[in-house]
Every structure is written in structure tokens, then in C-alpha cells.
């Protein structure tokens, strides 16, 4: 296809853009960060290579490595405000950053040549042989294939799932043991590194680099390519570069209308293809094609996982004198609860009595205004949520928080995030040790999928599940993290009668695995059926505590529930 020099040039550039776009997909597509700084990082990469080769006489190879490192480092710095700011402020910062980069490049004439830029960037060479245009094309292709492979390894691993979890619900990422700040930093550095490397190749292809090569809409271009190509799809950037770069260039006259095409594309896509071209194709295949997913149903016993959980002896969880105020509201006042190991402990109380707040304090999402939480004899008050998850506290949410983009099995598998020991590098390079560990954990996730009764939906997208099954999915996800204490927030809400029976059995099975359960529940029969102990909250205070029979017979409790006088 690449015979004429026009096409050779066109496809080589498309490869350079694809490289930067693939990296940007990790940041914007998978992690959902809207940045308008990506083009500026490409510019920095291009100028780094141009300056090092032309001014300092470096050869291309070390210069390209330097561009990659500088791109990663600069992008990492841009990330720092993103860790704190809301996404809209962050977008403004990236706009300011891009404007500043152009201004600095134009101003620092002694280094960058100002408006005229840097001329005569030499091509790469090996043993004195300078790369021709065709060899450049192949170099770009080889780099793209390598980066594609690395990204493919990453996005099909716990790293990619943690990116999606942060995008869809950073709370679920935290409660599965993900350090959100580290993961964010990784995505920025990775995206920046691909942009820096793309910049190095860009400089060589252009031979002359000037600030004008990087207008503001260059950054917008990458956003379009990723968002319209199909965010969080491996093929998205390829389809996006083809639709928004290659096609307009091939149709010559369309080039002038690029911004108009982007605008109309955005409008049309937001209505017709909310998941971009790649998402649309996948949906088409699901609807009309043979489902490529292997349907399997794993019916394994759970005995194999029994050994895996380290039960806690004595008191599993202790909440001591915990209070929490929100502004003037006392959501919890001096609450003390002691949950013996191996119990199913029910936390009962009317709406607004502080039950969810209690779970949020135990799992570290809220810091208590006073008091302490202990897991076994370890004090966990004030630990960050992902550390509490790693210490052995799993949880589900009143409103299930799942990764809709992933399959049911992958969602459950994600719960093993903090148990996976393979380094990011061994995952990115798909080393045998990393693959073995991943397979092992996937097998365990498959078993738990069977335990919660979702085997037949293993390969369906999680967001296609009805509400009741999402609750079961969340339980499976928490279990694969091997919690010692499992917190369930209204697990029975919205379940059918059949599902309710299943849940009851499931909780008894989980208890047999050695997990201590704390469940927030209104459902009196369910509590009576499975719980060994219960605490009743009312208005943030403990109203009664004891066995379920005791608390439901308590006069104060009856009165709080029925409004009957004591």
C-alpha cells in the first residue's frame, strides 16, 4: 500500500500519531482523565530530540530515549495537580500548560531557535547507514507494534482494571486496594513517555521543527482520536487516527475542514456512538455476530479456597466510641460495637441512622471525628482506604460500584488486585511468572463466580447485569481479595425472593470460609435467619445490642421501628 512517497509519508506520520494516541488512550480512555496537554508533551519530545541531535550532536537513539524520559517526567509533573483538583480545574491547567509550552519554546531562542525553530534534524543511522523514508516507516511500525503489545498486556491486567476502576468509581478502586495516586501517576508518566517518543520520531520526519508545528488543536486532535476512536478500546486510537487524520489527508480538500469535521463528528458520535467507533463495532458484533466469548460454566467446590483465608481469633472487629459529624449533623455518636470472629453481625436501623457512615469509617473512606477501629488487635483508624482493604477488610456498596466496561469475571478478578505480587514491568512484558500468577488468580475468581452463582454470565459485560446480580458480583469481588472481615451494605435490597434465598445460603457459606461478616440490613427475617449478633442504630446512637432475638424484642427498638409508645 505504501508505494508512492505521499502515502509513505502519510502512513509514517499516522504511525507517529498512533503511538502518541495509544499512550493517551491509557490516560484519557482507560483512566478517564481529560487532558489538553498531550500535544504539548509531543512538542517537548520533538524539541528535545532536535536540540540534542542538532545543537549537541547526539545520535538519534540516545536522543529518542531522552525524549521518552523527558516526556514521561514532564507529564508526571502535570499529573501532580490532577491528584488534587477537580477535573474541570485540571482541564484548565492543561490548557494553560499547553499555552505556556508554546510560549516558552518561542521565547527561548538561544535553545529552540524561536519562530524559525531548529533545522536539519538528522535521520537515525545504524553503523553509518542513514535510514531512508521506507526504513523510517518500518522503524515507526516496529515501535508501534511493541507499544501496542505492552499496552495490550497492561490493559488486560490488574493495572488496566485499576485504571478503569478509577475512571468509573475511584471509591471502588480504593476499596479493592488500589493506590489511586500511584496509579494516576503511572498513567500520566506512561502517556507522556509515548508522547515524548512520538515527538522524537516527529522531529526526524519533519527535519525542521518549529513552534507552529504544535498548534493548540494538536492537543485537541489527540482527545478527538481517543474519544471518537473508542476510549478504553485497544483498537480505538487506530480507528481514530484513520478517521481523523488519514482519511482527511487522503481526501486532500477535506484537510481544510478538519475542525469542522471534528465538531460534526463529536456531535454525531455523542448521540450515535457514545463509546466511539471501536465501541460501536463491538456492540454490532455482539448483536449480530456469533458471540466470540467462550461460554463455560465452572462448577467447582469452594473447599479449595477454604485454606486461603486466615481467620481472626477472638474479636474480629472492634469499633470503639466512634463519632462522626458532618457539618452540624451527628451521623454517629459514641458508637461501640464488638464483633466476635466468625459471626455474621447485623447492623440494623432506620434510614439515616448512620449505618453506611459506620461502614465508611471502618473501610477508611471517612475519618472518624473521634474513636478507634481495630481489626483483630491492629488499629486501623486513619489508615488510607486501600491500606485497610489490604489489611483484610472487604466491602460491598449500597449502590453497587462495578466496572461496566469489563466482563463479570474480570470484575471479580479485579478484587484480587492487592494480592497480585507480579511487578508492573513483568506484567507489561507478560513474563511467564506474571502470566502464571494471573492464571492462578483467574482460576480462583472463576471458583468464586460459581460460588456467588454467576457462572453463566462470566463473559457478559458487567453493566448488562440486573441490580440483584450486581450485588452478588460485588460479594464475589470482595471475596477474591480474601477478606478477614467482609462488610455488606444492604445486600438484600432489590433482590428477588429467589435471590434472597441464594444470598442467605451464600452468607452462611462465606461464614464457613472463616470470614467475619458485618451486614447492614433492614430485612428482619434475613437477620434472624443468618446473624449471630446484631446492633441497632438510631439517630447515630446504639439503641440496642445482642442476639437478633434480643434486639428485636427490645422495647426501644420496637418503638423506633413502629412508632409505638414504649
Q: Which residues bind Mg ion (CB under 5 A)?
A: 356, 398
Query: Which does residue 353 touch among Mg ion, ligand ADP, none (CB within 5 to 8 A, set by kind)?
Result: ligand ADP
CB of 170 to Mg ion, least distance (A): 19
Nearer to ligand ADP by C-beta: 160 or 368? 368
Give strand pairing partners of 318: 338, 374
> CB of 374 within 8 A of CB of 380?
yes
Please tell me the number of Cα atoms within 13 Å of 7 on its side-chain side: 4
CB of 70 to Mg ion, least distance (A): 48
- Alpha-carbon distance of 503 to 519, in angstroms, equals 12
CB of 333 to ligand ADP, least distance (A): 11
The residue within the footprint of ligand ADP, chosen from 351, 497, 498, 565 (CB under 6 A), is 351
- Alpha-carbon distance of 370 to 391, in angstroms, equals 21
- Asked if 352 interacts with ligand ADP (CB under 6 A), we say yes
The residue within the footprint of ligand ADP, chosen from 72, 160, 276, 349 (CB under 6 A), is 349
310 by Cβ neighbours in 10 Å (0-12 / 13-18 / 19+) ranks as exposed
Nearer to Mg ion by C-beta: 152 or 323? 323
Nearer to ligand ADP by C-beta: 196 or 349? 349
CB of 73 to ligand ADP, least distance (A): 37
The DSSP symbol for 38 reads: H
Q: Between residue 526 and residue 555, which ones bind ligand ADP under the rule CB under 6 A?
A: none
Q: What are the grid coordinates assigned to 519, written together? A: 451486614
Nearer to Mg ion by C-beta: 493 or 558? 493
- Asked if 355 interacts with ligand ADP (CB under 6 A), we say yes
Nearer to ligand ADP by C-beta: 183 or 356? 356
CB of 265 to Mg ion, least distance (A): 42
CB of 32 to ligand ADP, least distance (A): 22
Which residue in this structure is represented by grid cell 441512622?
353
The DSSP symbol for 494 reads: T
Nearer to Mg ion by C-beta: 356 or 469? 356
- Alpha-carbon distance of 543 to 554, in angstroms, equals 9
CB of 351 to Mg ion, least distance (A): 7
Nearer to ligand ADP by C-beta: 137 or 397? 397
- How far is CA 396 from its chain centroid? 17
Nearer to ligand ADP by C-beta: 105 or 361? 361
From 160-168, 198-206, 354-362, 551-559, span contacting ligand ADP (CB under 6 A): 354-362
The residue within the footprint of ligand ADP, chosen from 354, 468, 483, 548 (CB under 6 A), is 354
Site string for ligand ADP, 299-328 (x = CB under 6 A): ---------------------------x--
Query: Which does residue 404 touch among ligand ADP, Mg ion, none (CB within 5 to 8 A, set by kind)?
Result: none
Give strand pairing partners of 335: 322
b/e map of 342-361 (b: 16 or more CB within 10 Å)? bbbbbbbbeeebbbbbbbbb
Nearer to ligand ADP by C-beta: 529 or 539? 539
- Alpha-carbon distance of 139 to 71, in angstroms, equals 20
From 56-64, 295-303, 351-359, 414-422, span contacting ligand ADP (CB under 6 A): 351-359
**Sequential DSSP letters for 295-358:** P------SHHHHTTS-PPPSEEEEEEEEEEEETTEEEEEEEEEEEETT-EEEEE--TTSSHHHH
Nearer to ligand ADP by C-beta: 367 or 440? 367
Query: Which does residue 351 touch among ligand ADP, Mg ion, none (CB within 5 to 8 A, set by kind)?
Result: ligand ADP
CB of 356 to ligand ADP, least distance (A): 3
> CB of 416 within 8 A of CB of 441?
yes
Q: What are the grid coordinates assigned to 526, written together? A: 434475613
Q: Between residue 356 and residue 375, which ones bind ligand ADP under the rule CB under 6 A?
A: 356-357
CB of 495 to ligand ADP, least distance (A): 18
> CB of 383 within 8 A of CB of 392?
no
CB of 329 to ligand ADP, least distance (A): 5
3-state DSSP assignment of residue 245? helix
Cite the DSSP H helix spans in 395-496: 408-414, 424-428, 432-451, 467-480
CB of 551 to ligand ADP, least distance (A): 16
CB of 526 to ligand ADP, least distance (A): 16
- What stretch of H or E contains 395? strand 393-395
Which residue number is nearest to Mg ion in terms of Cβ? 356
# residues contacting ligand ADP (CB under 6 A): 11
Query: Which does residue 424 touch among ligand ADP, Mg ion, none (CB within 5 to 8 A, set by kind)?
Result: none
Report how far apart, in Å, the C-alpha atoms of 171 and of each of 1, 217, 312, 319 are. 48, 34, 26, 22
- How far is CA 175 from its chain centroid? 12
Phi and psi torsions of 308, nearest 5°: -75, -25
3-state DSSP assignment of residue 461? strand
- Asked if 331 interacts with ligand ADP (CB under 6 A), we say yes
Q: What angle do CA 54, 55, 56 make, to 5 degrees?
A: 100
Residue numbers of the site for ligand ADP (CB under 6 A)?
Answer: 326, 329, 331, 349, 351-357
Amino acid at each position: 500500500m505504501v508505494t508512492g512517497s505521499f502515502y509513505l509519508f502519510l502512513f509514517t506520520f499516522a504511525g507517529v500519531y498512533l503511538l502518541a494516541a495509544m499512550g493517551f488512550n491509557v490516560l484519557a480512555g482507560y483512566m478517564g482523565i481529560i487532558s489538553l496537554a498531550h500535544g504539548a508533551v509531543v512538542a517537548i519530545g520533538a524539541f528535545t530530540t532536535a536540540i540534542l541531535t542538532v545543537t549537541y550532536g547526539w545520535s538519534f537513539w540516545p536522543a529518542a530515549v531522552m525524549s521518552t524520559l523527558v516526556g514521561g517526567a514532564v507529564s508526571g509533573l502535570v499529573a501532580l495537580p490532577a491528584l488534587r483538583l477537580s477535573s474541570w480545574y485540571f482541564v484548565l491547567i492543561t490548557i494553560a500548560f499547553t499555552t505556556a509550552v508554546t510560549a516558552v519554546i518561542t521565547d527561548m531562542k538561544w535553545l529552540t531557535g524561536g519562530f524559525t525553530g531548529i533545522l536539519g534534524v538528522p535521520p537515525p543511522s545504524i553503523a553509518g547507514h542513514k535510514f531512508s523514508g521506507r526504513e523510517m516507516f518500518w522503524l515507526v511500525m516496529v515501535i508501534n507494534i511493541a507499544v501496542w503489545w505492552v499496552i495490550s498486556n497492561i490493559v488486560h491486567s490488574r493495572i488496566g482494571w485499576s485504571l478503569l476502576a478509577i475512571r468509573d468509581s475511584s471509591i471502588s478502586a480504593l476499596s479493592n486496594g488500589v493506590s489511586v495516586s500511584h496509579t494516576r501517576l503511572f498513567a500520566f508518566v506512561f502517556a507522556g513517555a509515548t508522547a515524548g517518543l512520538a515527538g522524537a520520531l516527529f522531529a526526524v520526519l519533519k527535519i525542521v521543527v518549529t513552534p507552529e508545528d504544535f498548534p493548540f488543536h494538536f492537543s485537541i486532535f489527540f482527545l478527538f482520536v481517543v474519544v471518537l476512536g473508542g476510549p478504553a478500546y485497544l483498537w480505538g486510537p487506530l480507528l481514530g487516527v484513520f478517521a481523523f487524520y488519514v482519511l482527511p489527508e487522503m481526501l486532500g480538500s477535506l484537510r481544510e475542514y478538519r475542525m469542522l469535521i471534528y465538531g460534526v463528528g463529536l456531535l454525531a458520535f455523542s448521540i450515535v456512538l457514545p463509546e466511539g467507533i471501536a465501541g460501536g463495532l463491538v456492540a454490532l458484533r455482539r448483536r449480530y455476530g456469533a458471540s466470540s466469548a467462550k461460554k463455560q460454566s465452572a462448577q467447582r467446590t469452594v473447599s479449595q479456597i477454604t485454606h486461603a483465608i486466615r481467620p481472626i481469633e477472638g474479636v474480629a472487629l472492634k469499633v470503639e466510641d466512634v463519632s462522626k459529624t458532618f457539618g452540624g449533623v451527628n451521623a454517629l455518636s459514641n458508637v461501640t460495637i464488638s464483633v466476635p470472629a466468625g459471626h455474621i453481625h447485623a447492623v440494623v436501623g432506620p434510614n439515616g441512622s448512620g449505618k453506611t457512615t459506620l461502614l465508611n469509617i471502618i473501610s477508611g473512606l471517612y475519618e472518624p471525628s473521634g474513636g478507634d477501629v481495630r481489626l483483630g488487635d491492629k488499629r486501623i483508624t486513619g489508615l488510607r482506604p486501600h491500606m485497610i482493604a489490604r489489611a483484610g477488610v472487604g466491602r460491598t456498596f449500597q449502590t453497587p460500584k462495578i466496572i461496566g466496561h469489563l466482563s463479570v469475571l474480570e470484575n471479580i478478578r479485579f478484587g484480587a488486585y492487592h494480592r497480585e505480587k507480579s511487578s508492573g514491568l513483568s506484567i507489561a512484558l507478560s513474563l511467564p511468572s506474571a502470566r502464571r500468577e494471573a492464571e492462578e488468580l483467574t482460576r480462583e475468581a472463576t471458583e468464586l463466580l460459581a460460588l456467588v452463582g454467576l457462572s453463566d454470565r462470566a463473559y457478559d459485560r458487567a453493566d448488562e447485569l440486573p441490580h440483584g446480580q450486581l450485588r452478588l458480583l460485588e460479594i464475589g469481588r470482595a471475596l477474591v481479595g480474601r477478606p478477614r472481615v467482609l462488610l455488606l451494605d444492604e445486600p438484600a435490597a432489590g433482590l428477588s425472593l429467589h435471590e434472597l434465598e441464594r444470598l442467605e445460603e451464600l452468607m452462611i457459606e462465606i461464614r464457613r470460609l472463616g470470614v467475619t461478616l458485618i451486614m447492614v440490613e433492614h430485612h428482619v427475617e434475613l437477620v434472624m435467619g443468618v446473624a449471630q449478633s446484631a446492633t441497632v442504630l438510631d439517630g447515630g446512637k446504639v439503641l440496642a445490642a445482642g442476639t437478633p432475638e434480643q434486639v428485636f424484642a427490645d422495647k426501644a427498638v420496637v418503638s423506633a421501628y413502629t412508632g409505638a409508645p414504649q
